[in-house]
Amino acid sequence: MAKKKKKIFKLVLKRFINPVHLWRVIRLQRNRKKVKRVYDDAQLKLYHQLLPGDYLHYGYFDDPSVHPLDMTINMIYKAQDRYAEKIAELVTDTQRPILDIGCGMGGLLGLMNKRGLHATGLTPDVNQARHIRTKYPNTLIESRFEDLDGTKYEKHFGTVITSESLQYLETEIALPLIDRILVSGGKWLACDYFRTGTEGEKSGHNWKLFAEALEKHRFRITWQEDITPNILPTIAYVHHWAANIGVPVKNFALEKLKVKSPGIHYALEEAIPLIEEKIKKNIDTVDPAIFAANKRYVLMVIERVV
């Protein structure tokens, strides 16, 4: 074991004392934000490995009162199916093509196939595209939605769906494009969370600003349902595991490191508080109380103002 640790230390040290390797380390770190996360998203890939039901959303629990300790992974699978069904039930134009923007691993495409609907998927993520092409027969567009050829798909789709993908879209580009590709009288089905408070994690559009963007681009919400309570059980489940199991395991690992490898622990000592702060921040993003206080999750039908 000592020889193995020594070998690992030498390999790491080599990357920092060799000028060629050190320059590459600096370059990779400096350019890390230039790499488009959506094109090969390791985080979404991990979600799919943990929840292999071809869905990457929180799911919808008909009984929001279920306690994290009473939940099972199978219940989350069923909640994810229910979430997809809630969206599919809102499709009224069953003849024209449907565009699923940010289609994830293709779960919603599969459900719509079973219903006899004609759905096209869109994703810029290479892992998602590879998975979909091996499992689903649907037409797939590999692109960011903002880069979609509006001329090619002008007035082509009867329904457009953004299922937990709206948060990634630039509204000033996406809204006019949605209008362009929808047929007259077409519907946009959106299901996502929006920021209403100032605390917590900053992902998702601000609800007030989104409403203003809809009005500016002559869209209106014709039906909506606040499903925040129905998605909270999944968040509570993840938070329970992270706070009550993940943190104690982390503390145990640090104590073990201090005893077994005091030198390595000493080298990391000043960085440990920063690591723990980062862990706490990540756990807070899945705190159901913080989420509910600062965000609302809405399923809605949006149509063009005539």
d(CA 162, CA 129): 17
Q: From 303, 263, 286, select the one nearest 90 (Cα to Cα).
A: 303
What per-residue confidence (pLDDT) applies to 215? 97
The lowest-confidence range among 44-53, 122-131, 274-283 is 44-53
3-class DSSP state of 297: strand
Read off the pLDDT band of 280 (50, 70, 90).
Answer: confident
Interval 247-263: pLDDT, tens: 888 888 888 888 888 88
pTM of the model: 0.80
User: Is residue 107 within 8 Å of residue 85, measured between CB atoms?
Assistant: no
Q: What residues form DSSP beta bridges with 159?
A: 98, 187
Q: What mean pLDDT comes out for the span 92-109?
A: 96
Q: What mean pLDDT comes out for the span 210-233?
A: 97
Fold of 88-230+291-304: Rossmann fold (3.40.50)
Q: What mean pLDDT comes out for the span 120-128?
A: 94
Interval 51-68: pLDDT, tens: 556 788 889 999 999 999
